[in-house]
Structure 1
């Protein structure tokens, strides 16, 4: 789900965009936290767009959180906590929720961030032509700004997932003035996050400075922030040693070498999972037995041990063990069985096997090569192809069979919608079992601390997984290497944040 190109005409990738049009000199003063030269360079990934409403890439949220703040946040364990809203109150019938904003909030351009601005931002998410978050806002019937600091979401059904939902891209508040020019917003964000974007070279790097007006600015100890693409495996150690990177996202293959070079590596079991996206309206994937044969032919344990260096756990569903939506009944749902996979193919009308094409995001993904070997062994003759950089398959649906990664969502109900809903980005076939929407709505109708909630959300997970074609593979581990001069970096199961992080000299 990484690295689609920006879909904004007229961007010159070779020229840094100095964002003086949306950043005041007061906002970039270096005396507003830390000393001049207190810089952290993060090797992660540049976003596909700086507009959270049109972002179609799950991984974008980490970069977007540098410049935007959500109405809520999620803590290190993925639980909802205050963000722009210092608290929230549900009506007794669960059909509305009022968020109480912190007083005196402003956007990075100096304009007021009040209830009217939050209302405008959420309404844009619901109605914008290219919005990728509209399906997640479907339960919001209307929004009212009741005062300067109180904004109420009136719901068409009981939905206690809203505080979780608004902790990610869906709840990141965009300046209404900036949103009037979506093309400009894609490269020049105006939010109220911990940093302000001051320079941007698409595909190369983004430069940011501390936002002195961020509500939690006292916890931001980094004056200057640079975001670059994660280092290539061949130069990861050199990049850390030279100071090109202070913090770098690693692959499993890089961990041993970086540790051997003496750099600390945070290892975090996170919410994302590797998955095969399958369009079940395209032959041969329109036959459920073919999809089951694929899932049965895959040796998930071998993927973990061989292609992922022993990190992660085999998965048959989109949620890891210990997560509220994880359904234990789905464990080992399709045990590895080559003979059974061949029988399923024969029953599907392919006694001599079948030819398929598996699309990869990058040619050197070892998981793709091992899956190819496993499927070939079961008579599923697999040709690997690399998707064209910058072409978003969630939009084009050109490739019906894709090795992907589901980067989770803050709300499990939202996750089910993204993966399996009729408008879900990762639902390539745009089909949905008729009983799933009702099961998802029922789960969302329970308060998060209601004893009945876990069973309800787990039931929805089972309906989705046993009726939809997605083939889940294994859970993801995040590896974050950092220079010894970086202190206070913490493990986050969801969005990476930098409160409390310092760069020492």
Structure 2
């Protein structure tokens, strides 16, 4: 169902989508499925969440699974623009220092308790104050929250901030039952939200089984009764899993696409917001010298990473936002062109004329991107050894490894993205340093309505300050690959959070 846009829509520039699915309108999908016999279960191969608590989740990719059980105050559409969610609309004060969200009447959590303005207030305040909250830095401009009526909740701000509707479409705005939040340990495996599905059983690392939530505000667009979430299939069994029906829909890597397509299965390819990146702790030697980091960036042939390690998918980037996105600064394109001689010169200027030894940590040992980066850095005198991150240990929290091949999974608000990557308390900022000019630049960008013609220049200026002063080495944009059986219908290509409204399966 296409919802009308509320006040304060994002105004983001749409990314070019490749291989876009062409779903029928929901009414047609429902009619077609009834004629052919609609199945009641959809099985999705994706990553299981690190926790079912959006306040303590420290993994960006968790948001896709969490969105199955939680609904945000707002949503983002396929292009990443803010749309109504639990709130059917919102209104900013004339001075931009507060925003009131007008909730849909009659909302309930999956346990049957009332979801009203008081519950929203309690959930957001927990996000601000919980000692282990990972979303507190994103709520820093929220001074206080008031429940003005059963359906109106107002966020009073320390400064003008027009990013709030975008911010509340992801983990930051996913509303948790205040009763369930009293037991955070239990909440980690037994979520209570108001999303499209209800978690019925969960085996960590194995499977989550969910059922349709009849109280979801948009339940009419949820066309499957049962939803099964399993870990992404291993490359060796992806085709077999689709053939056997173990998966109806499965996330793939670039290396799997050719084989899955050759086996006759459709693969949706979507250019999405995430980018691959090297996390760098600039308080640890030799990365405390900016010229060493510049040498690393200059030694990397990003196009070769795309062509060789990523099978031609994606585009080289030198910043956390892909081309076409409102916060992408064209002036940063090709910021550090591949030049081995220049990289060696930078190393010498940094005091390493004979080269330098570094250790690059990978999420998995067989990551071809890591192996190619190792070759490229070695060629420039940056002698690189590879290690694998300790399983189950979150490097954003421990900061054990100062140099890591990672993926920034984007945030719904570009200002939030800058805070997560570069803010003094940013989750992905391993060094916890930040440019002195960045807070003011971020505040300037937040002070523009998202439809203001001056907004793109302001947010791009903040991007430029962050990228040119911080050590992160951005590599290339990400393409999402979703293979599915011919039984699956109604898929849409989302640049950000994957949703399942309008999706149905044949028997």
TM-score range for the pair, normalised by the shorter chain length = over 0.9
Equivalent-residue separation in structure 1 for 2:49 and 2:494 (angstroms): 19
Correspondence for 2:176: 174
Question: Is the counterpart of residue 301 in structure 1 residue 303 in structure 2?
Answer: yes
Quick check: 1:285 aligned with 2:287? yes
**1:147 partner SS:** coil
d(CA) in 2 for partners of 1:411 and 1:154?
A: 18
Distance 2:214 2:435 in 1: 49
Q: Secondary structure at the match of 1:429?
A: coil
Alpha carbons 2:39, 2:505 under 8 Å: kept: no
Note the C-alpha offset of 1:36. Answer: 9.9
* Aligned partner (choices 245, 248, 251) of residue 247 of structure 2: 245
CA distance in 2, matches of 1:68, 1:108: 9
Among residues 166, 177, 187, which one is paired with 2:189 in the alignment?
187
Other structure's SS at 1:99 match: strand
Look up the match of 1:210: 212
CA deviations on 1:184-241 (whole Å, 9 max, x unpaired) are 0000000000000000000001000000000000000010000000000111100000
Match of 1:18 in 2: none
Q: Is the 8 A contact 1:36 1:223 kept in 2?
A: no
Q: Which residue of 2 aligns with 1:98?
A: 100
TM-score with structure 2 length normalisation? 0.93
> Deviations 1:68-93 (Å, cap 9, x if unpaired)?
00000000000000000000000000
Equivalence for 2:342 = 340
Q: Which residue of 2 aligns with 1:495?
A: 497
Say which of 398, 404, 423 aligns to 1:396. Answer: 398
Q: How does 1:246-285 map to 2 (within 5 A)?
A: 246-285=248-287
Q: Counterparts of 1:23-422 in structure 2 under 5 Å?
A: 38-422=40-424
Deviation at 1:116, TM superposition (A): 0.1
Structure 2 residue runs of 5 or longer lacking an equivalent are 1-32
Q: How many Å separate the matches in 1 of 2:428 and 2:138?
A: 14
Ranges of 4+ aligned residues in structure 1 off by more than 2 Å: 33-37
1:244 shift after superposition: 0.4
User: 3-state DSSP class of the match of 2:360?
Assistant: strand
Q: CA deviation at 1:432?
A: 0.2
CA distance in 2, matches of 1:276, 1:184: 34
SS, match of residue 284 in structure 2: coil
Q: Distance in 2 between matches of 1:140 and 1:45?
A: 31
Structure 1, unpaired ranges of 5+: 1-32
Q: Counterpart of 1:27?
A: none
Q: Secondary structure at the match of 1:417?
A: helix
Q: TM-score, normalised by structure 1?
A: 0.93
Q: Distance in 1 between matches of 2:353 and 2:38?
A: 69
**TM-aligned CA deviation for residue 364 of structure 1:** 1.1
Distance in 2, Cα, partners of 1:284 & 1:157: 38
Write the distance in 2 (CA, Å) between the matches of 1:214 and 1:478: 27
- Secondary structure of the residue aligned to 2:500 is coil
Shift of 1:504: 1.1
| C-alpha contact (below 8 Å) 1:327/1:458 kept by paired residues | yes
**Cα displacement string for residues 428-460 of structure 1 (whole angstroms, at most 9, x for unaligned residues):** 000001000100011000000001100000000
Cα distance in 2 for partners of 1:47, 1:468 equals: 29
Work out the CA distance in 1 between the residues paired with 2:138 and 2:443.
Answer: 12
Q: Which residue of 2 aligns with 1:26?
A: none
Take 2:40 and 2:147, find their aligned partners in 1: how far apart are those partners? Answer: 39
Which whole-Å CA distance do the structure 1 matches of 2:226 and 2:391 have between them? 30
1:178–1:189 Cα contact (<8 Å) kept:
yes
Report the number of matched residues: 473
8 Å Cα contact 1:52-1:172 kept in structure 2? yes
Other-structure match for 1:21: none
Tell me the secondary structure at the aligned position of residue 349 of structure 1. Answer: coil
In 1, are the aligned partners of 2:38 and 2:505 still within 8 Å (CA)?
Answer: no
* Preserved CA contact (<8 Å) 1:304 1:314: yes
- Within a 5 Å distance, the mapping from 1:470-485 to structure 2 comes to 470-485=472-487
